[in-house]
């Protein structure tokens, strides 16, 4: 009986793995993105030439890039938040629902914080306001934001994450988290950025973020 149980368990596990690899993983790695967006080269791709995890997600936002850019610039733990599931990725604090002028001075070399003390995260590798921004560490991780204007004064907001898994025990948990959790956080983030960019007006006058 035990032998039969093991065979069934192995069979079910193999079937689940095959289903994930064949159907679920391609969906989650390309959620919302058009085939040409998935295949095109983006700034930051050279940071991680041979990624284990290569995800391109996208969403259409009924706003020009200039209205979306400030939300991306102020992102980060201890800053504007991640606009995702705040209880999981922003220490339970609500992500910003307004543009914060004092957080609009992000530049190349600055850190987009991912730790509670605000000191550790992804360095800003490149910026072309309000078109593209790349966060990342060469050979390890890159996170690219691409803003492409489309008809109707709208924008295709494209997010590309490239990550090289580490199979050592200390890094394995992080790799598993990226593989299975990134899609749900990213979908929520894109939806919430869209909602904010489409509905929250930029502040007029002195408090308004700079025009790029």
pLDDT of residue 177: 87
pLDDT of residue 169: 75
CB 178 within 8 A of CB 163: yes
Distance between CA 76 and CA 90 in Å, rounded?
Answer: 8
pLDDT of residue 168: 76
pLDDT of residue 198: 98
The candidate with the shortest Cα–Cα distance to 79, out of 90, 68, 88, 66, is 90
pLDDT of residue 203: 66
pLDDT of residue 115: 92
Given the structure tokens 């004092």, which residue do they identify?
102
Per-residue pLDDT of the chain (212 residues; tens, 9 = 90+): 667 777 677 666 677 767 777 788 999 999 999 999 999 999 999 999 999 999 999 999 999 999 999 999 999 999 999 999 999 999 999 999 999 999 999 999 999 999 999 889 999 999 999 999 999 999 999 999 999 999 999 999 999 999 998 877 777 788 888 999 999 999 999 999 999 999 998 765 444 445 44
pLDDT of residue 205: 44
78: number of Cβ within 10 Å:
16
């Amino acid at each position: 009986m035990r032998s039969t149980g093991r065979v069934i368990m192995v069979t079910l596990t193999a079937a689940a793995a095959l289903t994930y690899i064949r159907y679920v993983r391609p969906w989650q790695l390309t959620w919302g993105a058009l085939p040409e967006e998935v295949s095109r080269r983006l700034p930051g791709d050279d940071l991680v030439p041979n990624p284990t995890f290569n995800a391109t997600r996208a969403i259409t936002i009924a706003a020009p890039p200039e209205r979306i850019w400030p939300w991306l610039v102020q992102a980060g733990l201890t800053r504007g938040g991640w606009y995702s599931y705040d209880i999981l990725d922003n220490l339970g604090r609500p992500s910003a629902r307004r543009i914060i002028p004092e957080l609009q001075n992000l530049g190349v070399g600055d850190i987009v914080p991912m730790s509670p003390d605000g000191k550790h995260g992804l360095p800003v590798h490149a910026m072309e306001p309000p078109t593209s921004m790349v966060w990342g560490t060469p050979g390890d991780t890159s996170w690219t934001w691409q803003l492409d204007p489309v008809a109707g004064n709208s924008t295709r907001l494209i997010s590309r994450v490239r990550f090289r898994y580490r199979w050592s025990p200390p890094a394995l948990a992080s790799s598993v988290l990226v593989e299975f959790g990134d899609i749900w956080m990213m979908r929520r983030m894109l939806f919430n950025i869209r909602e904010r960019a489409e509905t929250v007006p930029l502040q007029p006058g002195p408090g308004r973020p700079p025009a790029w």
